[in-house]
Structure 1
Amino acid sequence: MTSILIVTDAWHPQINGVVRSLERTAEELVKIGVRVEFLTPAEFKTLPCPTYPEIRLSLTHTKSVRRLITQFDCDHLHIATEGPLGLMAAAVARKDKKPFTTSYHTRFPEYVSARIPIPLSWSYSWLRRFHNSGAGCMVATRSLEEDLRARGFDNLMRWSRGVDEELFQPYEGSVLPEKLPRPIFMNVGRVSVEKNIEAFLKLDLPGTKVVVGGGPQLEQLRREYPKVHFTGSKVGEDLARHYASADVFVFPSLTDTFGNVMLEALACGVPVAAYPVMGPVDVIGDTGAGVLSDNLQEASLACLDIPRDHCRKIALDYTWAASARQFLDNALAAQAAFRDKIGKSQAA
Structure 2
Amino acid sequence: MKGTGVNTNMRILIVTDAWRPQVNGVVMTLERLAQSLEHMGVGTVFLTPEGFRTVALPGYTEIRMALTTPAQVAQRMDAANADRIHIATEGPLGLLARRICIARGLPFTTSYHTRFPEFLRARLPVPQEWTYRWLRRFHNAGNAMMVATPSLAAELGERGFTNIRLWSRGVDTAQFNPARRTDPGLGGPVFLYVGRVAVEKNLPAFLDLDLPGTKVVVGDGPALPDLKARYPQAVFMGLKRGDELAAIYASADVFVFPSRTDTFGNVIIEALASGTPVAAYPVTGPLDILAEGGGVLDEDLRAAALAALRIPRGEAHRRAGGYDWNESARQFLAHVTTAIPQHSHTWSAA
Q: Same fold (TM over 0.5)?
A: yes
AA of the residue aligned to 1:297: R
| Residue in structure 2 matched with residue 129 of structure 1 by the alignment | 137
Q: Sort the Cα spacing of 1:173 and 1:131 in 2 relative to 1 into closer, same or farther, 3 A.
A: closer
Query: SS of the residue aligned with 2:322?
Result: coil
Shift of 1:99: 0.7
> Do the aligned residues in 1 keep the contact of 2:110 with 2:145 (CA within 8 Å)?
yes
> Do the aligned residues in 1 keep the contact of 2:180 with 2:246 (CA within 8 Å)?
no
CA distance in 2, matches of 1:62, 1:158: 30
Identity, % of aligned positions: 55
| Residue in structure 2 matched with residue 343 of structure 1 by the alignment | none
Which of 164, 168, 179 in structure 2 is aligned with 1:160?
168
Query: SS of the residue aligned with 1:85?
Result: helix
CA distance in 2, matches of 1:312, 1:39: 36
Which of 276, 279, 296 in structure 2 is aligned with 1:270?
276
CA distance in 1, matches of 2:152, 2:105: 28
CA distance in 1, matches of 2:71, 2:293: 52
Shift of 1:55: 1.1
| Residue in structure 2 matched with residue 319 of structure 1 by the alignment | 324
Please say if 1:335 is aligned against 2:335: no
AA of the residue aligned to 1:174: T
| Residue in structure 2 matched with residue 17 of structure 1 by the alignment | 25
Shift of 1:42: 1.0
CA deviations 1:52-92 (Å, max 9, x no partner) are 22210101111000001000100001000000000001111
| Residue in structure 1 matched with residue 267 of structure 2 by the alignment | 261
| Residue in structure 2 matched with residue 214 of structure 1 by the alignment | 220
CA distance in 1, matches of 2:245, 2:180: 14
Map 1:139-158 to 2 at 5 A: 139-158=147-166
Shift of 1:318: 0.4
| Residue in structure 1 matched with residue 6 of structure 2 by the alignment | none
Query: SS of the residue aligned with 1:250?
Result: strand
Which of 75, 83, 91 in structure 1 is aligned with 2:83?
75
> Do the aligned residues in 2 keep the contact of 1:41 with 1:58 (CA within 8 Å)?
yes
> Do the aligned residues in 2 keep the contact of 1:175 with 1:241 (CA within 8 Å)?
no
Shift of 1:310: 1.2
Query: SS of the residue aligned with 1:171?
Result: helix
| Residue in structure 2 matched with residue 300 of structure 1 by the alignment | 305
Please say if 1:170 is aligned against 2:175: no
| Residue in structure 2 matched with residue 30 of structure 1 by the alignment | 38
CA distance in 1, matches of 2:293, 2:333: 31
Shift of 1:109: 0.1
Structure 1 portions without partners, runs of 5+? 340-348
Bigger drift between 98-107 and 46-55 goes to 46-55
Query: SS of the residue aligned with 1:149?
Result: helix
Return the TM-score normalized by structure 2: 0.94
Please say if 1:102 is aligned against 2:107: no
Shift of 1:172: 4.2
Query: SS of the residue aligned with 2:179?
Result: coil
CA distance in 1, matches of 2:266, 2:180: 22
CA distance in 2, matches of 1:300, 1:291: 7
Aligned alpha-carbon RMSD (Å):
1.0
The list of structure 1 runs, each at least 4 consecutive aligned residues, that deviate by more than 3 angstroms after superposition, is none
Map 1:45-56 to 2 at 5 A: 45-56=53-64
CA distance in 2, matches of 1:255, 1:59: 28
Structure 2 portions without partners, runs of 5+? 1-8, 344-350
Query: SS of the residue aligned with 1:42?
Result: coil
By relative contact order (CA 8 Å, sep 6+), the higher-ranking structure is: 2
Shift of 1:156: 0.6
CA distance in 2, matches of 1:53, 1:323: 31
CA distance in 1, matches of 2:277, 2:62: 30
CA deviations 1:92-134 (Å, max 9, x no partner) are 1110111110000011100100000100110000000000011
> Do the aligned residues in 1 keep the contact of 2:109 with 2:142 (CA within 8 Å)?
yes
Shift of 1:175: 6.5
CA distance in 2, matches of 1:218, 1:43: 30
Shift of 1:40: 0.5
Shift of 1:171: 3.0
Please say if 1:189 is aligned against 2:200: no
AA of the residue aligned to 2:223: Q
Return the TM-score normalized by structure 1: 0.95
